[in-house]
Amino acid sequence: MLRCTCFGLLVLALVSPLPAEDAAKSDEGYVSLFDGKTLTGWQGDVKGYSVADGAIVCQEKGGGFLYTDKEYADFSLRIEFKLTPGANNGIGLRVPLNKSDPAYAGMEIQVLDDTSDKYKSIKDYQHHGSVYGIVPAKTGHLKPVGEWNSEEITLRGKLITVVLNGETIVSADLAQASTPKTIDGREHPGLARDKGHICFCGHGAHVEFRNVRVKELK
């Protein structure tokens, strides 16, 4: 029941949505990477993905690497995604078009239902939102499987942040995080790249993406 008290009105004011002009300003400069109907603007394993209900769908028996046509250097990427039980995917950053594993040839942000029992023994750097093999993410901020999550990834030089459902789960200097070596002990030549493609890294699991937007940072 809504009580018409001064305190109640104050609470309502505090939780009310941003004014339209403020919301529009927060989206200023972002460009859509997905028209909601086709895979125009994307290349790579297009047969492993489809479009349904306004979302890019990584097919359960498909996947592979789906790249943006354009390369990006410093940028902010906003995206919504929905997982299925035990789903595994990733978002590649500054990735080259050479079919190499984005986690090493560029860098990869994990997209993973890490609440699944099948992943109970994974490393810290394999949890959802982690920069794979380099920076572990804070856990516990995914919405229940089947619900839409929102994520913002900002990459400026060697500085990266990942915000999941309003919570900052990664904030790191990639140069420091890989010195004297990466947390997984492997070579990550992609850390030296200053630009490349954004890509989805499908691993044969049904995952949906929508409202894919990017803002290039100067």
pLDDT at 92: 98
Question: What pLDDT was estimated at residue 98?
Answer: 84
63 vs 124: CA distance, rounded Å = 24
Q: Is the pLDDT of residue 15 over 50?
A: no
Residue 80 confidence (pLDDT) above 50: yes
Q: What pTM did the predictor assign?
A: 0.87
How does DSSP classify residue 210? E
How far, in Å, CA of 84 to CA of 182, rounded?
Answer: 30
Burial class (CB in 10 A: 0-12, 13-18, 19+), 2: exposed
- What's the pLDDT at 27? 82
Task: Give alpha helix (H) positions in 20-135.
Answer: 20-26, 102-105
Mean local confidence (pLDDT), 173-185: 97
Report the DSSP beta bridge partners of residue 89.
111
Say what the pLDDT of residue 26 is: 73
pLDDT on residue 75: 98
Helix or strand or coil: residue 216?
strand
- CATH number for the domain running over 19-216: 2.60.120.560
Strand ranges in 167-206 using DSSP code E only, listed in sequence order: 167-173, 196-202
Q: How confident is the model at residue 25 (pLDDT cuts 50, 70, 90)?
A: low
pLDDT at 186 over 80: yes
Q: Is the pLDDT of residue 23 over 60?
A: no
Instruction: Give the pLDDT band of residue 104 (cuts 50, 70, 90).
Output: very high
- Supply 212's token pair: 């894919």
Residue matched to tokens 């250097």: 73
Does 2 have pLDDT greater than 60?
Answer: no
For residues 80 and 211, the answer to whether their CB atoms sit within 8 Å is yes
Whose structure tokens read 């993406």?
209
Q: Is 91 in contact with 111 (CB distance < 8 Å)?
A: yes
Average of pLDDT values for 49-78? 96
Mean of the pLDDT values across residues 190-212? 97
For the record, the structure tokens of 141 come out as 């901020």
Give 106-141 pLDDT, tens digit per residue.
999 999 999 999 999 999 999 999 999 999 999 999
